[in-house]
Amino acid sequence: MNYPLTFKQYSDALKEDRLMGLKCKVCGSITVPPKMACRNCASFEIEPMAMKGTGKIRTYTSVFVPSEGRETECPYIIAMVELDEGPWIMGNLKGVTPASAGLDVIGKSVKMGHEVFPGDKYSAGEGARPVFTIV
């Protein structure tokens, strides 16, 4: 059976600032990040669909202790965003100073861009991720 939306396809779309997800033909639920089965009803009848790339911040953290190989990125903010279409996704938040970010960012509306993690010796290649800015 054909995989409906691979990470490579998702990442390539992100590199053009397009956020792709899947819409279920059975129950109408939207699944992001992409999977084989609808996250609501487990149907395989799901097809790719472009998200608007907008949503609200639901939680965040400012990271000060990085993984090996990502020292130069620190500090940075990770945010979980609830998309206007419903799903939550993880990305970075830019335009806010990590050391002074507070709980007031939660609930703020954001729009999406992207950055590419170039990969390391464990990651089997690069991967794009959403980067959000408060609107």
Which residues of the chain form contacts with another protein (CB under 8 A)?
7, 10-11, 32-33, 35, 39, 58-71, 73, 76, 78, 80, 82, 87-92, 98, 101-103, 106, 116-117, 120, 122-124, 127-130
For the CB of residue 52, give the shortest distance to another protein in the complex, in Å: 17
For the CB of residue 1, give the shortest distance to another protein in the complex, in Å: 19
d(CA 102, CA 22): 33
| Residue that has been written with the tokens 């729009």 in this structure | 111
Phi and psi at residue 110, to the nearest 5°: -135, 155
Phi and psi at residue 70, to the nearest 5°: -120, 25
For the CB of residue 2, give the shortest distance to another protein in the complex, in Å: 18
